Amino acid sequence: MGSPSMNIKGIREPDEEYQQMKAVYEACTKAGVPVPDRVQDFFDWQPPNPNGILTDLDLSEAVTEYRDDYREGFDVEISKLPKNITHIRFYLSY
């Protein structure tokens, strides 16, 4: 197992593109055929999130890394988040 890394994603509300990609994902799943990589990538290689589209915030202007002698994480400047971001997801990956 590798060392953990902290990630941060914004979630924006479903839009027309989301609905189209979700329809493709569901049709492929129902038909038992592989979901195209482009669709998988759109959903960050996870099933479609009913809250919307995951957007990488790790390197955005709204997010800076925070570190001191005992902790590390992110500072999120809410006023700099894109207006269509409705949720923020923080997670560790291994």
Spell out the domain ranges in the chain. 5-93
Alpha helix (H) ranges present in 1-94? Answer: 16-31, 37-42
How much is the pTM?
0.67
| pLDDT above 80 for 2 | no
Q: Report the C-alpha gap between 57 and 28 in whole angstroms.
A: 29
- pLDDT one-digit tens code per residue, 27-36: 999 999 999 9
Average pLDDT over the chain, rounded to an integer: 90
Task: Quick: pLDDT tens for 53-90.
Answer: 888 887 678 898 888 999 888 899 999 988 889 899 88
Report the Cα–Cα distance between both ends of the chain, in Å, rounded: 7
80: its two tokens:
């700099």
Strand 5-12, strand 85-93: pairing: antiparallel
